[in-house]
Homo-oligomer: A and B are copies of this chain.
């Protein structure tokens, strides 16, 4: 069975890693969809698609049955699933906890399974970005590679600049 796992991965954190570990063996192919790929340098989406893919690649054991695909948002939600079907290899299952994603997928005949996230409150991109912006501790929430990547490339500064400020 081919599965998709859509997420913004802003940034990729231990909750994602944990989820992938749980679902991977159920899938013949697992497609990570990097959503909002066309947005970056905003507080909600600070990292480019390229940076997010790099953080994912550095954190997982990628194998031959995994695809990582950046996808730009489309305007009309009602056309989103069809768009995915056109752009991706055939898939039968979608992992997501988002109720809108569930409705959209099921309308087009794609089964949806919830993700058993690990301590959802803490392991969340929103929480991590907030902690970085406020100078709080965030190291334990992400894989070591992601921590080093953000630190090493000076990306904390970007998030702080974006916090409460927009071009």
A64 to B57, CA, bound (A): 10
**Given contacts A75-B38, A75-B39, are A167 and B89 in contact (CB under 8 A)?**
no
> In the docked arrangement, what's the CA distance between A66 and B59, Å?
16
Query: How many angstroms between the C-alpha atoms of A63 and B50 in the bound complex?
Result: 20
Residue from B42, B85, B103, B161 in contact with A50 in the complex, judged by beta carbons closer than 8 Å: B85
Q: Is A40 an interface residue (CB 8 A)?
A: yes
Cβ–Cβ contact B167 & A40, under 8 A: no
Q: Is the CB of A79 within 8 A of B88?
A: no
Query: Which bracket fits the contact residues of A?
Result: 35 or more
Q: Which residues of B contact A98 (CB under 8 A)?
A: 165, 167
* Residue ID in chain B nearest A162 by CB atoms: B100
Q: Is A22 an interface residue (CB 8 A)?
A: no
Report A67 CB to chain B, min CB distance, Å. 6
CB neighbours (8 Å) of A89 from chain B are: 50, 53-54, 57
28 A–B contacts from the bound complex (CB under 8 Å) = A37-B87, A39-B75, A39-B76, A39-B77, A40-B76, A40-B78, A41-B103, A42-B77, A48-B78, A49-B86, A50-B88, A50-B90, A53-B89, A54-B90, A57-B89, A62-B64, A67-B68, A69-B69, A70-B88, A76-B86, A78-B86, A79-B83, A98-B165, A99-B165, A100-B161, A100-B166, A103-B157, A104-B167
